[in-house]
């Protein structure tokens, strides 16, 4: 019963305890639904703009050098510059999103996004979530691709929706690019740019208006749709939920950035050392990965960061927000878990790799 009460107080936008005076109006922070859709379209166009800007820069170099565009060598060169186009696109995306978020949130991003350092316990728990959530996403992607191929048989006109997914681009580049450049373009840049956009700006406003449940679901849906292909969107949706979850439990913006980076880095390393996601997993392996996922989600909930007022009571904002009120003296605290229990959560993760080795 106490779990239900805590859930209602933390994840429902009504009936929160507040230390603010009665009648004080708390204005929504961040964009609403309409503006969030505008940010979503802005992000899509920004990727196109970044690609076009990079292509224009390369074209300008060739024109200045007096090289004819009819030269086959030029065409071959452009086909080999996929990594350059991607780098230019990501640079433009991250830079413009960072500036736009700074102006939209009126500066001081550290306070508004709650950039408190992560304690060692939460860093450990988030790290342990990487493999389970990545494998779960991979299983969804594999199942979705099977259903997608069946749909294409019934609706061949849907082939127009077929497009290169980021994993296809990663597969094409993995043999020609260094692992460090792949990590920069597929892990570091998306983790920074997409988290500022979806968790920092869009999620901030939607959660403040719709509450945690509605805000997280809508933000995660937009985050998934931003990845283009319907199957990729299906696989990314639970990752979006997980990114919001660690953000809420730790009250630190570094948590979703770190998890996002690790999940993408895991995908990059899969193509370098072995494709776990493309293997047919045995039932014991799937069971172990789901058990591990549930355990560390529960561990994060049990050790979530709480706000305590001067009288020792847990404080809840009138509207859901991760931004700490500067006018109230609050203390942040979290419950430490016994190290035996925490490390014991690694048992199913070890069991997954054992099942993958013996039965996979």
Domain interval for residue 268 = 30-279
Over residues 295-323, the pLDDT tens digits come to 889 999 999 988 887 777 877 777 777 77
Contact 16, 316 (CB under 8 A): yes
For a pLDDT cut of 70, what percent of the chain falls above it? 74
Average pLDDT over residues 269-275: 65
**b/e sequence 6-15, b meaning 16+ C-beta within 10 Å:** eeeebbebee
Residue 274: partners with Cβ closer than 8 Å, 6 or more residues away: none
Q: Is 78 within the bounds of a domain?
A: yes
Q: Is 183 within the bounds of a domain?
A: yes
Q: Is 67 within the bounds of a domain?
A: yes
Q: Is 25 within the bounds of a domain?
A: no
Closest listed residue to residue 251, CA positions, set 304, 319, 193: 304
Over residues 339-356, the pLDDT tens digits come to 777 777 777 777 777 766
Confidence of residue 185 (pLDDT cuts 50, 70, 90): confident
Residue 263 has pLDDT above 90, yes or no: yes
How is residue 172 written in tokens? 């094409």
pLDDT at 262: 93
Confidence of residue 326 (pLDDT cuts 50, 70, 90): low
In the chain, the number of structural domains is 1
Q: Is 353 within the bounds of a domain?
A: no
Sign of CA dihedral 293, 298, 299, 305: positive
Higher pLDDT, 230 or 239: 239
pLDDT at 325: 67
Residue 71 has pLDDT above 60, yes or no: no
Q: SS3 letters for 77-134? A: HHHCCHHHHHHHHHHHHHHHHHHHHHHHCCCCHHHHCCCCCCCHHHHHHHHHHHHHHH
């Amino acid at each position: 019963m106490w779990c239900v009460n805590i859930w209602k107080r933390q994840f429902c936008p009504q009936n929160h305890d507040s230390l603010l005076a009665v009648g004080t109006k708390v204005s929504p922070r961040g964009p609403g639904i309409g503006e969030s859709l505008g940010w979503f379209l802005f992000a899509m166009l920004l990727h196109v703009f970044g690609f076009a800007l990079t292509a224009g820069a390369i074209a300008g170099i060739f024109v200045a050098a007096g090289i004819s565009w009819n030269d086959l060598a030029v065409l071959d060169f452009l086909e080999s510059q996929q990594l350059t186009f991607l780098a230019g696109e990501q640079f433009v995306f991250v830079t413009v999103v960072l500036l736009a978020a700074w102006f939209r949130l009126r500066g001081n991003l550290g306070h508004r996004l709650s950039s408190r350092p992560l304690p060692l316990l939460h860093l450990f728990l988030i790290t342990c979530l990487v493999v389970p959530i990545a494998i779960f996403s991979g299983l969804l992607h594999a199942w979705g691709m099977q259903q997608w191929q069946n749909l294409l048989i019934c609706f061949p006109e849907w082939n127009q929706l077929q497009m290169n997914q980021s994993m296809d681009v990663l597969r094409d580049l993995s043999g020609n690019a260094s692992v460090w450049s792949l990590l920069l373009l597929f892990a570091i840049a998306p983790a920074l740019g997409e988290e500022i956009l979806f968790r920092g700006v869009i999620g901030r406003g939607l959660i403040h208006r719709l509450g945690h449940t509605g805000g997280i679901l809508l933000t995660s849906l937009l985050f998934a749709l931003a990845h283009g292909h319907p199957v990729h969107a299906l696989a990314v949706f639970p990752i979006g939920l997980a990114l919001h979850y660690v953000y809420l439990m730790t009250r630190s913006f570094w948590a979703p950035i770190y998890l996002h980076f690790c999940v993408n880095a895991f995908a990059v390393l899969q193509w370098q050392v072995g494709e776990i996601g493309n293997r047919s997993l045995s039932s014991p392996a799937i069971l172990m990965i789901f058990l591990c996922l549930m355990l560390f989600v529960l561990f994060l909930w049990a050790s979530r960061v709480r706000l305590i007022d001067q009288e020792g009571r847990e404080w809840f904002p009138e509207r859901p927000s991760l931004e700490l009120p500067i006018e109230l003296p609050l203390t942040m605290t979290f419950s430490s878990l016994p190290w035996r229990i925490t490390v014991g959560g690694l048992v199913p993760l070890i069991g997954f790799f054992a099942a993958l080795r013996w039965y996979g």
